[in-house]
């Protein structure tokens, strides 16, 4: 009986220990399945469809081409492989200009027929309308919007997930923004953090160290949203003043906030690394006549360089993942 209970509880322990593994696998699974659906869905917004005149040679268009057409950057079908006709736009907002309300009927019941005849009579038209209004004997041609490809996703320069009529999903500016912001943040945080940890590990007295260490550990625990709030209140206006910018919410502001957030982690981890230098090595260096600074530079830092690198990566990695430091970074990314 006792053994049975023991085995049962051991089983319970085993199940608990697999929870983390399961979670990681589930997260990966969900991210992939939700992410992949993006590549399967049409970039067209909602239930909209795209229709052209039946003689039009264009069969598919990409999301980027749709955007350029509706921004009037592409004005002729010849630019995307069609005839020489100039492109005429027709969206649901143009219902009023093309038809008057009496023609459509009180419940828009004549709308499909009107759209049909409009498309049939205008060779250069491209029409976006809801699939509810598709006419029964449609004489025009529906064209397909090519799905988002991995290539256009990674290299696209426009990120407008709410654009009309087709969403623009290019993740390149987000990736570049993240890289820039974190690079500048490392450049700011690493020298300051390293200097502080050298001070704490090699220079400061024991009392000073016992005072500073818990304080820095407390600072590591401050919620990121508080750092973000601080950045929004202090750093953003400061940058606006110094550089005379219309808005202060720039990549630099984001980098400074990230650097401040990363500092406590960088200091604690690299200080541990510095203190792991064997005493004998330091004393040997001092015995050879090197002074304290030379010992730190030539012996202590080279010995603990791997720990310092780890500190930088851990600190910035934690900070990059945080999204809630006010608007500063979010704007820098977009």
Partner 1 sequence: MIGILFSILGFIIYKGIGVISWEFITEMPKDGMTKGGIYPAIIGTLCLIGGSIIFAFPIGVMSAIYINEYTKHGYFRSFIQLMTSNLAGIPSIVFGLFGMSLFVNQLGFGDSILAGSLTLGLLVLPIVIRTTEEALKAVDDNFRQASLALGATKLQTIQRVTLPIALPNILTGLILSIGRVSGETAPILFTVAAYFLPKLPTSIFDQVMALPYHLYVISTSGTNINDSRAMAYGTALVLILIVLILNLTASAVRRYLSKKNNIN
Instruction: Summarize as ranges the residues that interact with partner 1 (CB under 8 A).
Output: 2-3, 5-6, 9-10, 12-14, 16-21, 23-24, 26-27, 30-31, 34, 192-193, 195-196, 212, 214-219, 221-230, 232-234, 260, 263-264, 317, 320-324, 326-327
CA pair distance 241, 238, nearest whole angstrom: 5
User: 181 φ, ψ to 5°?
Assistant: -60, -45
Q: Which is nearer to partner 1, 119 or 312 (CB)?
A: 312
Q: How far is the CB of 113 from partner 1 (least distance, A)?
A: 40
Q: Which is nearer to partner 1, 62 or 265 (CB)?
A: 265
Strands (E), the chain: 48-52, 60-61, 88-90, 125-130, 141-142, 144-145, 159-160, 168-169
Q: How far is the CB of 42 from partner 1 (least distance, A)?
A: 21
- Alpha carbon 329 to its chain centroid, in Å, reads 10
Q: Which is nearer to partner 1, 25 or 288 (CB)?
A: 25
Q: Which is nearer to partner 1, 134 or 192 (CB)?
A: 192
Q: Which is nearer to partner 1, 14 or 84 (CB)?
A: 14
Look at residues 91, 164, 101 and name the one whose alpha carbon lies nearest to residue 130.
91
Tokens of 259: 């650097």
From residue 174, alpha-carbon distances to 84, 182, 331 in Å are 37, 12, 10
Q: Which is nearer to partner 1, 19 or 287 (CB)?
A: 19
From residue 175, alpha-carbon distances to 34, 101, 160, 320 in Å are 20, 48, 15, 12
Q: How far is the CB of 265 from partner 1 (least distance, A)?
A: 12
Q: How far is the CB of 257 from partner 1 (least distance, A)?
A: 10
Q: How far is the CB of 186 from partner 1 (least distance, A)?
A: 16
Q: How far is the CB of 326 from partner 1 (least distance, A)?
A: 6
């Amino acid at each position: 009986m006792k053994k049975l209970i023991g085995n049962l509880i051991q089983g319970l322990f085993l199940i608990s220990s697999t929870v983390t593994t399961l979670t990681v696998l589930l997260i990966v699974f969900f991210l992939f399945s939700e992410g992949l659906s993006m590549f399967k869905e049409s970039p067209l917004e909602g239930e909209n469809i795209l229709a052209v005149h039946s003689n039009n040679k264009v069969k598919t268009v990409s999301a980027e081409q749709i955007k350029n057409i509706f921004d009037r950057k592409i004005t002729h079908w010849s630019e995307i492989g069609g005839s020489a006709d100039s492109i005429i736009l027709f969206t649901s907002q143009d219902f009023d200009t093309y038809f008057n309300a009496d023609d459509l009927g009180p419940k828009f019941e004549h709308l499909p027929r009107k759209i049909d005849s409009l498309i049939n009579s205008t060779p250069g038209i491209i029409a976006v309308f809801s699939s509810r209004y598709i006419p029964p004997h449609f004489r025009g041609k529906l064209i397909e919007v090519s799905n988002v490809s991995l290539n256009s996703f990674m290299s696209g320069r426009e990120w407008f997930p709410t654009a009309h009529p087709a969403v623009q999903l290019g993740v390149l500016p987000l990736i570049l923004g993240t890289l820039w912001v974190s690079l500048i943040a490392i450049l700011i945080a690493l020298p300051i953090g390293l200097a502080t940890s050298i001070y704490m590990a090699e220079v400061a007295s024991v009392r000073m160290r016992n005072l500073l260490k818990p304080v820095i550990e407390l600072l590591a625990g401050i919620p990121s949203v508080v750092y973000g709030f601080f950045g929004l209140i202090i750093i953003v206006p400061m940058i606006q003043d110094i550089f005379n910018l219309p808005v202060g919410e720039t990549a630099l502001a984001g980098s400074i906030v990230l650097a401040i957030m990363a500092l406590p982690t960088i200091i604690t981890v690299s200080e541990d690394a510095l203190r792991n230098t064997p005493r004998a090595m330091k004393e040997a260096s001092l015995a050879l006549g090197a002074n304290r600074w030379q010992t730190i530079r030539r012996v202590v830092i080279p010995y603990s360089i791997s720990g310092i690198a780890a500190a930088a990566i851990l600190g910035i990695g934690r900070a990059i993942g945080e999204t809630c430091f006010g608007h500063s970074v979010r704007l820098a990314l977009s």
